[in-house]
Amino acid sequence: MLFYYLTALVLAGLGWLDARYLTLVHYQQAILVCARYTIFVDCGKVLQSPYSAMFGIPLAVIGLINYSLLLLAISASFLTRKKLFSYWLVIQTAGAFLASVYFMYLQIFVIGSLCLYCTGSALISLLLFLIVLVSQKPAVLDVVGMIYQLVIKPVFFWFDAELVHETVINLGQILGRVWLVKSILVFFMKSNRPALHQTLAGISFTGPVGLAAGFDYQAKLTRLLPNLGFGFQTVGTITNRPYGGNPPPRLGRLPKSKSLLVNKGFKNPGASATISRLTNEEFAIPVGISLGRTNSRRLVTQRLSVNDITEAFEKFEHSGLRHAYYELNISCPNLLGKVEFYSTRHLTQLLTALRSQKISRPVFVKMPIEKTDRQFLAMLQIISRFSFMKGVIIGNLQKDRRDPAFDQEEIKRAGRGNFSGKPTWKRSNELIKLTYQAYKRRFVIVGCGGVFSAQDAYEKIKLGASLVQLITGMIYQGPQLIAQINLGLEERLRQDGFRSIQEAIGTA
C-alpha cells in the first residue's frame, strides 16, 4: 500500500509542477521551452488555441487545482484511511483521466499539434487512475454501485421489467464471450479468499454467494457469472417440457418494498433444449440445475407429475453435462393444476421415485417459506431419510402478503404472483435457524431470500447457512454486490475471530 501511495504522490507532484509551469507561462506571457519543436509538436499552437480554456479559465489553472486537490486527497487517504478520501480519489482520477482523453483527441484531431506538457499530464492522469483502480478496489466497487443506483437502475426501471431482464441476459451472454470484458471483471470482482472456500456435499466452492434459480432460466450466463465473483450458479428452473410462461405481466417491481413480483410459472426452454445449450460447456464454478414439474394442466395427477420430474432428472443424468448438483424445486407457487409435494405422502412418493434413479449428484431441495414451523419440520424429516438429499435451500418466494416488509400501497396494487427480496428475508431466516437447530450439519443449508449486503449474507451464515443465494439484491444494488459481499464477509469473519466460514456457521 505504501508503494502505491508514494507512487501516486510522486506522480501527482510531477503533474502539479507541469501545471504550475504552464500557468506561469500563461500569466507571464513567456515563451514555452518546447514551442515549435517540430510541425506536429507545437505547444504554443495548442496553448494559444481556443481549446486552452474552459469557461474562460485556462486549462493550466484547472490542472493546477486538479493536482493540488489530488495531493490533498492522497495524503488524507494515506493518513486517515477513511473511505471518503478513497471515493474522492476514484471519482477525481476517473474524471481527470476522461478529460485528458478528450484533450488528447482535441490535440491530435482538431488542433493538429501536440503539446508535450499536456501529453505528459495526460500520461500522469492515466497512471494515477490505474494506481487508484489497483489500490482502492473496495472504493471502486462502491462507486460502481453508486453509478448503478443513481444512473443505470433508474433507466432500467423506466422499462418493462421482463424486457429489461431478457435484454440484460442476452447482453450478459455476449459479454461472457469477450475476453477483455471478462478480464476487467475478474480484476475488480473476483479474488481468491481462502477463508471463503468450502467443500460441501463433495463440491468445492471458492465463494459462498450463488445465483438463485429464476434469473438464468435459459442457461445463458454460465460464462459471465464466475467473473463477477459468484461462487456457484443455478440454472433454471428447468422442466421436462418447455413452457412459454404464464400470461403477462410476469414480472413486476415493488421498489419501496425492495421486492419483485414474480408470475413466470417456470417459463423455460425445457430439459432437452437446455442440455443442447450446455453441451460441451466447461464451468468455472459449480453449476446446478433446478428441476421442477412441467407447468401443464395435463399433469393432473401426482403420479403423472412424479413421472414428469423423474424424466427430467433422467435426461440430465444421461446428458454428459458437467453440472455439479441439482435443485429439486417443489415450491414454485405459480403453477397450473392442484398437484403439490408438501404433504408427507406426496413428498415421500417423489423422493422414493428419485432414489430409484440412483442420481449421481447431490440434490438440494428448494423449500417453501409460507409453511408453518410444524409443516416445515415434517417436510425436513421426510427429506432427511433420503441420503442423496444433501441440502435444503431456504427458501422460495413469499406468498404471504401480510409480511411487514411490504409497503402497504405497493402490495395493494400488486397483481397475480409472489414476491422476492426483503419480504422473504425474515421468514427465510427463521426457517434457516429452525433447520440448523434441528439438523445441524445433516443438511447443507443454502440461505436464500432478501440478501442485499454482506451483513445480510453473514446473518444467514451465522443462523446456519453454509452458502447463500440471491437475485433481487443484485437487481436493486447492482452487479458489484457479489464482490462486495465476498469482501465484507471476509472482513466480518476476521473481526469476529473466525478463520473460515465453516467456523461461523450456526454461531448466532
Ligand X SMILES: Cc1cc2nc3c(=O)[nH]c(=O)nc-3n(C[C@H](O)[C@H](O)[C@H](O)COP(=O)(O)O)c2cc1C
Which residues bind to ligand X, rule: CB under 6 A? 212-214, 217, 237, 251, 260, 262, 264, 266, 290, 329, 332, 366, 396-397, 420-421, 424, 448-451, 470-473
Rounded to an integer, what distance in angstroms lies between the CA atom of residue 432 and that of residue 451? 14
Which lies closer to ligand X via its Cβ, residue 45 or residue 258?
258
| Residue 265 near residue 332, CB atoms below 8 Å | yes
Q: What is the DSSP track for 27-85? A: HHTPPPTTTTSSSSB-HHHHHTSGGGEETTEEHHHHHHHHHHHHHHHHHHHHHH--HHH
Rounded to an integer, what distance in angstroms lies between the CA atom of residue 151 and that of residue 141? 15
Rounded to an integer, what distance in angstroms lies between the CA atom of residue 358 and that of residue 29? 87
Rounded to an integer, what distance in angstroms lies between the CA atom of residue 374 and that of residue 195? 35
Paired sense of beta strands 363-367 and 287-292, if any: unpaired
Q: How far is the CB of 145 from ligand X (least distance, A)?
A: 17
| Residue 273 near residue 431, CB atoms below 8 Å | no
Which lies closer to ligand X via its Cβ, residue 399 or residue 462?
399
Q: How far is the CB of 257 from ligand X (least distance, A)?
A: 11
Which lies closer to ligand X via its Cβ, residue 139 or residue 285?
285
Which lies closer to ligand X via its Cβ, residue 77 or residue 469?
469
Which lies closer to ligand X via its Cβ, residue 214 or residue 231?
214
Q: How far is the CB of 167 from ligand X (least distance, A)?
A: 14
Which lies closer to ligand X via its Cβ, residue 93 or residue 296?
296
Residue with cell string 393432473: 300
Q: How far is the CB of 170 from ligand X (least distance, A)?
A: 16
Which lies closer to ligand X via its Cβ, residue 275 or residue 448?
448
Q: How many CB atoms lie within 10 A of CB 385?
A: 11
Rounded to an integer, what distance in angstroms lies between the CA atom of residue 496 and that of residue 504? 9
Q: How far is the CB of 152 from ligand X (least distance, A)?
A: 18
Which lies closer to ligand X via its Cβ, residue 20 or residue 256?
256
333 vs 5, 420, 490, CA distance in Å?
Answer: 54, 12, 35
The grid coordinates of residue 358 equal: 440412483
Q: How far is the CB of 65 from ligand X (least distance, A)?
A: 45
Sign of the alpha-carbon dihedral angle for 187, 190, 194, 195: positive
Which lies closer to ligand X via its Cβ, residue 125 or residue 334?
334
Which lies closer to ligand X via its Cβ, residue 22 or residue 481?
481
Q: How far is the CB of 420 from ligand X (least distance, A)?
A: 3
Q: How far is the CB of 458 from ligand X (least distance, A)?
A: 15
Q: How far is the CB of 169 from ligand X (least distance, A)?
A: 11
SS3 of 467, please? strand
Residue nearest to ligand X (CB): 214
Element (H, E) at 287: strand 287-292
Please provide residue 43's backbone torsions phi and psi, each rounded to the nearest 5 degrees: -60, -40
Q: How far is the CB of 294 from ligand X (least distance, A)?
A: 13
Which lies closer to ligand X via its Cβ, residue 128 or residue 161?
161
Rounded to an integer, what distance in angstroms lies between the CA atom of residue 215 and that of residue 452? 16
Q: CB within 8 A of 213, min separation 6: which ones? A: 234, 235, 236, 237, 290, 327, 329, 366, 469
Rounded to an integer, what distance in angstroms lies between the CA atom of residue 315 and that of residue 320? 10
Q: How far is the CB of 403 from ligand X (least distance, A)?
A: 12
Helices (H), 115-266: 116-135, 137-147, 153-156, 161-175, 179-189
